[in-house]
Amino acid sequence: MSKHTKYISNQADQDGTIHWSTTENATWRALVKKQLSLLPGRACDEYLNGLKLLDLTSGNIPQLRDINGVLKHCTGWQVTQVPSLINFDRFFNLLANKEFPVATFIRSPDEFEYLQEPDIFHEIFGHCPLLTNPAFAHFTHTYGLLGQQASKEDRAYLARLYWFTVEFGLLKTPTGVRIYGGGILSSPGETIHALDTQACEHFNMQVIEALRTPYRIDIMQPVYYLLDSFEQLFEIADLDLMALVQQAKALGLHPPKYEAKQSLAS
């Protein structure tokens, strides 16, 4: 997790309302418009169904209480306002309590296509639609429970599984490969890159392989893992994931499929 950010989260008033600026709301609408032009034939049905339930496709940046009303009804989850950066202890504790962290800032125009850190568009538009889905919600909750008890080293391996599922996961469907990862669905650039270019590789999801695959947060991804079905998330959540982490540690990481960057650790 990055330790530095140029963004500052907006604070809610005493009634829980965040007063977004005209510019911030305009950025949200522009992002929504761009993604809606890209999602047909690319986003999975489970995500599109959640998008309708949350009513995210028109208007200004939604208030968190409105998101919570839908999520609570569907899966018992809610979103929780956090500063732009939180530590891993807080992150795992929130997920373990079925609370999804949302940093209440939105990206600047110069980072419109791709943002390294999670803004409210990434968290709400990218992730929250699938938190209406029982399989995705169960997997995310299980991940939080495991992370609470994991060591710092083990958390690094778990982070790779999260990256290649919740953030950058792809799904096989009868009509072709579709996107479910929030890091893709909230990034206009990555949405095209993941499915429509030859600059990346697709692999069938094997948990042990995902745990061993390095990634970088500041580039379009060179590797994506594909689920056979959305129900596979239930199956993964029911595995002995910490035993698989130990196996992955013993085997070691795969060579990265990207150029090293001196300022980033693998």
Backbone dihedral region for residue 241 (phi beyond 0: left; psi -120 to 50: alpha; all else: beta): alpha
Give the pLDDT confidence score for residue 2 in this predicted structure.
43
Quick count: other Cβ atoms within 10 Å of Cβ 170? 25
Buried b (16+ CB within 10 A) or exposed e, 20-47: beeebeebbeebbeebeebbeebbbebb
Q: Is 127 a catalytic residue?
A: yes
167 known ligand binder: yes
Active-site residue among 167, 187, 190, 193? 167
4 known ligand binder: no
Rounded to 10 deg, the angle between the 64-75 and 45-54 helix axes is: 130
Active-site residue among 122, 141, 187, 193? 122
- CATH architecture for the domain at 22-251: Orthogonal Bundle (1.10)
Active-site residue among 127, 141, 187, 190? 127
Angle at 92 between CA 128 and CA 114, to 5 degrees: 50
User: What parts of the chain have a pLDDT lower than 70?
Assistant: 1-4, 262-266
Phi, psi for 99 (deg, rounded to 5): -120, 125
123: Cβ–Cβ under 8 A, 6 or more apart, which residues? 79, 100, 101, 102, 103, 182
How far apart CA 98 and CA 140 sit, in angstroms, is 8
Q: Is 229 a catalytic residue?
A: no
Q: Is 151 a catalytic residue?
A: no
Give the pLDDT confidence score for residue 264 in this predicted structure.
43
**223 in helix, strand or coil?**
strand
Quick count: other Cβ atoms within 10 Å of Cβ 193? 20
Active-site residue among 9, 46, 186, 187? 186
Rounded to 10 deg, the angle between the 241-251 and 134-149 helix axes is: 60
How far apart CA 191 and CA 42 sit, in angstroms, is 8
Nearest to residue 24, comparing CAs of 101, 113, 87, 104?
104
Quick count: other Cβ atoms within 10 Å of Cβ 219? 15
Q: Is 46 a catalytic residue?
A: no
Q: Can you give the residue ranges of every domain in the chain?
A: 22-251
230: Cβ–Cβ under 8 A, 6 or more apart, which residues? 44, 46, 133, 135, 136, 171, 180
73 known ligand binder: no
Give the pLDDT confidence score for residue 265 in this predicted structure.
45
* pTM, entire model: 0.92
